[in-house]
Chains A and B, each alone.
Chain A
Amino acid sequence: MSSPTPREQGLAEQITNALGDKVALDYTNTRRLRVSTSREHMVEVGKFMKSDLGFDHVASVSGIDYPKDQIIEVVYHLGGYGKTEMRELLLALACRLPRDDSKMPSLYGVWKSVEFHERETFEMLGVTFEGHPQLERLLLPEDWNDIPPLRKEFKNPGR
């Protein structure tokens, strides 16, 4: 772990100044930031990241299952191609959802590139993205008749 440069610290300051209690800054490292927020503020935080900070695309959307805490965490990795100094930077925007009520607003309205990533997270972890234009299965077989396979209680049927 290396220490953050002024660029990342400046970004972190901008985020905390503008959003205050709505976000929690998890860590600030070289070229890496992590911000977590609640699902109510997700769209607002996303709009701020895009318009004010210049994160113009989402590199990945992934989900993590924590069965001990009964939580599913959805992580958006944001990047920016627009500004030269932002190109090597990645910001992880995390949102923790209760496991039995895993719904959150879709960020399709903010970044168009989340469409397929959110579909994948939907089928793999069972997270429902409200407002997504086409929330259907992407990679799983058409006749999949089981719980989402990346949930920890999924048991492989075997032979």
Chain B
Amino acid sequence: MVKDGGVNVLVGKLNEILVKAVAEPLQYVANWGRLYSLWPAHLETACCSVEFGAASGSRFDLERFGILEAFGSLRQCDLLVVQGSVTRKMAPRVRLIYDQMPEPKYVVAMGACSITGGLYFDSYNVLPGIDNILPVDVHVPGCPPRPEALIQGLILLQDKIRSQSELAAKIKIPQVP
């Protein structure tokens, strides 16, 4: 029962046991909760917000996929859909809104303007893509994207949430030297 270095095998496997018995089930439950109650912040920067509104409406009905309607406080929100072009004046405000949201939080860049600047890529006042100011999880291209495209992007985001595993790293005990 003694490995090289004199560390007990059971103790050496403690990390693995903790991950398998605690972290993975907890992670599964946490991910399940997160991905079926995504709550977008109500931030409309440009015309893509119309398509976003249509996607939340009764015809396309985002809520059947577990994405709530965009209302409520920023402290409850965990999804920031950047809807359209972000001007250089708006950029600090968008970042401020992102910073006010609690972890974990996800960002979807919706529309050509928020991905690359779109039509206004060479304008003096429009940001050529928001990935300089925010960590973007999913890009949804289109000008504007149809609600179906947005729904596909959000399902992609749910797949990403389903496979995230940040608990395993947190639960690890330090190795005995």
Residues of A within 8 A of B (CB): 139-142, 149, 154, 156, 158-159
Task: Tell me whether chain A's interface is mostly helix, strand or loop, or mixed.
Answer: loop
* Identity of the chain B residue whose Cβ is nearest the Cβ of A143 in the assembled complex: B92
- Contact B128–A140 (Cβ < 8 Å): no
B123 within 8 A of A: yes
Q: Which of B87, B89, B125, B128 contacts A158 (CB 8 A)?
A: B128
Number of A-B pairs whose CB atoms are under 8 Å? Answer: 20
Residues of chain A with a CB closer than 8 A to B166's CB: none
Query: Could you name 10 residue pairs across A and B whose Cβ atoms are closer than 8 Å?
Result: A140-B89, A140-B125, A141-B88, A142-B89, A149-B124, A149-B125, A154-B124, A156-B122, A158-B122, A159-B129
Residues of B within 8 A of A (CB): 87-89, 92, 122-125, 128-129, 132
Given contacts A140-B89, A141-B89, contact A156 B132 (CB under 8 A): no
* Identity of the chain A residue whose Cβ is nearest the Cβ of B122 in the assembled complex: A156
* 7 extra interface residue pairs, beta carbon distance < 8 Å, beyond A140-B89, A149-B124, A156-B124: A139-B89, A140-B125, A141-B125, A154-B124, A156-B122, A156-B123, A158-B128
- Contact A159–B128 (Cβ < 8 Å): yes
